[in-house]
Structure 1
Amino acid sequence: MEELQVRVEQSPGIIKFNFQEIKEALQIQMTAYTSLEITESGTDEAKADLATLRKIRKAVEDEKKAVKAEFQKPLKEFEDNVKDLLAVIDEPIGMIDGKLKEFDAKRVAEKQTHLKELYDANIGDYAEYLPYEAVASPKWNNKTYSDKDIVYDISEAVIKVRSDIDVIKSLGSEIEKECLDVYKKSNNDLKAAIQKNNDYLSVKKLAEEKVKEETKTEEKKKVELPKTEEDTIYFKITGADNIKVVRDFIALNGITVEEIPG
């Protein structure tokens, strides 16, 4: 596009009027009011002077406005012309800008489609652990970042997850599914999955120890002899099974017994 140069010929604005003459005349006339004192008899005259001074002030102000308006006419005309020029330029600017944005949006959409295709082709069976949003990196959008680099990133992520899952499965946990769920929900945190299994084993161990203790207590109650303060007690046992239990208990604890024929 050919470069255009705006040429403006501007003459400095000059406004001449009898400023000094009017100022000196006003100063002389205004001195009459510096020591003015209002009396009952002089109020009408003071009001008349006030009205006259306000008229003079208004006349000066109106003249200023008239001169300013006239002085700004060429500036106003220049500004209007510039606005017309800008409107002519802005039309193609808007069109080109819109087309560039449309082109960029299309390019970004095509790039995202291509990236998703690379992801789908290389993620294998691990999409549930590695959703696209978790794997994709902003650097994938760089022109200098090749498809080979992107595939490498995906493969590295898959290798890590596969290894972590193998570790979880090697635990042989009774709650393997729950451990895998924790792994997935914790953004593939292997430590969280292992801790889930460790917590389960700890609770299970406590439960088993409690059951074992309760079982021991129940068995002890079955063979517990009646309490007595004497050194010797006499009791009769009937039933072959009961006799065997008591004999085992006596032998285990080294108790001296004497059989009394019944």
Structure 2
Amino acid sequence: MVQMIISAPGEQPLPAVAWNYEEVKAEVEASLAQYKDRAYTPETICGAKADRAALNKLADVLAAKRREVKAQYLAPYENFERQCKEVEGMIAAASKAIDAQVKEFEGVEKERKRGTIIEIYQSIAGELVAMVPPAAVWNPKWLNKTYSIDAIRMELEATVQRIHESMETIRQSCGQDAPACLDVYLNDGLSLSAAIRKHQQLEHIRQQEAARPVAPEQLVGFRCQLTGETPVAPPAATENAAEATPPIELYMDFRVYYTRKAVLDSLKKFLVENHIKFGRVPYTQEK
């Protein structure tokens, strides 16, 4: 690389601007003395405006000369600055081209490492991968060069063990709510506390329902939800009814489709708690 040599001004400071500073300053001070402590009256206010205009004109003359000298001093630097920026741009363009290749290479390396990590997780997790995909346990820092594969493997082993332990805790602690709580655990950031809270909420709801009597219309609504029937309003009672008609025991057949035994257990519990008789319907082949 060619060494940059500054021949002018080099290490020597720029020459000072030589002008009759003391003379101009003394003359201005003498001129300004006449305005000191001057008080203007309504009759002399026009003279005040003339004085102000004269002072502003003097200041403008000085400012114009200052800008002229500044431009003379800056002209060499501005040309030097423009030339430096041109060369800097050439260097930046070359560096950008190299940077693009570096980033492309680093991207390929990260994708290769990502694939290795996923393979490690799949080998450790086994069937758990279907419920907990790699994205659910992913740590972005794993792609850093300083993060070794051995360290990542240890973290994945600990994570998989924790997930298995948490799922077993849910199965053992949440009873009939285990399927719902497992669903919360797997879809809410693998939070065991969230799954336990779900169980507590469902338990609280059941306690409230057990303490509250079930109205007949609620049973009708539940039956209609199961069968898809349209609820029918009960006939209005007649004022001239001689006596209450004893209730007629009715029955209906319907089929329940379910994918989890817990759903059938919940239905059976509801029927028992609300004193609804039920029994198995003889099997007939569905047409």
The two structures have a TM-score, normalised by structure 2, of 0.51
Q: Distance in 2 between matches of 1:108 and 1:37?
A: 81
Q: Which region of structure 1 is more displaced relative to structure 2, 103-112 or 182-191?
A: 182-191
Within-5 A mapping of 1:1-12: 2=1, 4-5=3-4, 7=6, 9=10, 10-12=12-14
- Tell me the CA shift for residue 16 of structure 1: 0.8
Mapped pair 1:130 → 2:137: no
Aligned position for 2:181 = 182
Within-5 A mapping of 1:69-218: 69-138=71-140, 140-141=142-143, 143=145, 147=149, 150-159=152-161, 161=163, 175=176, 179-186=178-185, 187=190, 189=192, 192=196
**What letter matches 1:68 in structure 2?**
K
**What letter matches 1:107 in structure 2?**
E
- Tell me the CA shift for residue 34 of structure 1: 4.0
Greater fraction of residues in helix: 1
Aligned position for 1:24 = 26
Aligned residues: 207
Residues 1:116 and 1:20: Cα distance change in structure 2 (over 3 Å): same
**What letter matches 1:96 in structure 2?**
I
The two structures have a TM-score, normalised by structure 1, of 0.55
CA contact (8 A) 1:111 1:141 kept: yes
| Residue ranges of structure 1 left out of the alignment (5+ in a row) | 212-262
**What letter matches 1:28 in structure 2?**
A
| Residue ranges of structure 2 left out of the alignment (5+ in a row) | 211-265, 276-287
Residues 1:164 and 1:140: Cα distance change in structure 2 (over 3 Å): same
- Tell me the CA shift for residue 132 of structure 1: 1.3
**What letter matches 1:185 in structure 2?**
V
- Tell me the CA shift for residue 183 of structure 1: 2.6
**What letter matches 1:70 in structure 2?**
Q
For residues 38-66 of structure 1, what are the alpha-carbon distances to aligned partners after superposition, in whole Å with 9 as ceiling and x for unaligned?
68998887776665554433322222221
- Tell me the CA shift for residue 31 of structure 1: 3.5
Q: Distance in 1 between matches of 2:42 and 2:156?
A: 102
RMSD: 4.8
Q: Which region of structure 1 is more displaced relative to structure 2, 153-162 or 63-72?
A: 153-162
Larger Rg: 1
